[in-house]
Chains A and B, each alone.
Chain A
Amino acid sequence: NAGVMQNPRHLVRRRGQEARLRCSPMKGHSHVYWYRQLPEEGLKFMVYLQKENIIDESGMPKERFSAEFPKEGPSILRIQQVVRGDSAAYFCASSLRSFQGKNTEAFFGQGTRLTVV
């Protein structure tokens, strides 16, 4: 059973371009979460999705960022018109049930490191 798969592992974009980050959850998991980790900082929640629905996007910047988790295919985090401050590691996690409650674990991918030049 493959773990959470993220691609690409490394992504370089010029300022103003679009970045598309993909996340395939573990088999059978329908809950997906995206986090951002800035250099020398901890992970910060961005968005929580369940198949075809955004459950909570309270951590997502209001502009330029969007996320989707279609019925078929991976979850996509899209960043339009990237700026240098978007450079960070973006992690995706998935869980069988909603990531809340005792003993419910979320499994993280290896992340996508976005560098904006």
Chain B
Amino acid sequence: LAKTTQPISMDSYEGQEVNITCSHNNIATNDYITWYQQFPSQGPRFIIQGYKTKVTNEVASLFIPADRKSSTLSLPRVSLSDTAVYYCLVGDGSNDYKLSFGAGTTVTVRA
């Protein structure tokens, strides 16, 4: 399983764009990248998933450069309710349920 590294915490203000970069230098050819969000006192929630280039949905965008050794989750115009822990996971689908979520990135949005 590819090891991931992401910042421990990030602070932002309402209305700003938040970009969280995850490093996964030993990502394998068959691996894809998935991001989860966890609000306080709740379980994680799937946000977005991608393999290469750019993926966008109603919640976020995911940018993956050509070498795939990192990925950036972009949250546009954050609000206070986006305060959460964000986890980057890398796996090839063979046993994703065993992926440990790590410490994640705690994003704090202030008014």
Contact = CB atoms under 8 A, between A and B. Distances in A.
B49 interface: yes
Nearest to B43: A108
Interface string B1-39: 000000000000000000000000000000010000000
Nearest to A44: B100
Interface residues of B, number: 23
- Chain A interface size, as a band, is 20 to 34
A99 B100 contact: no
Contacts, number: 66
A21 B45 CA distance: 21
Majority-rule SS of A interface residues: loop
A42 B96 contact: no
Given A42-B87, A42-B104, A45-B98, A110 B43 contact: yes
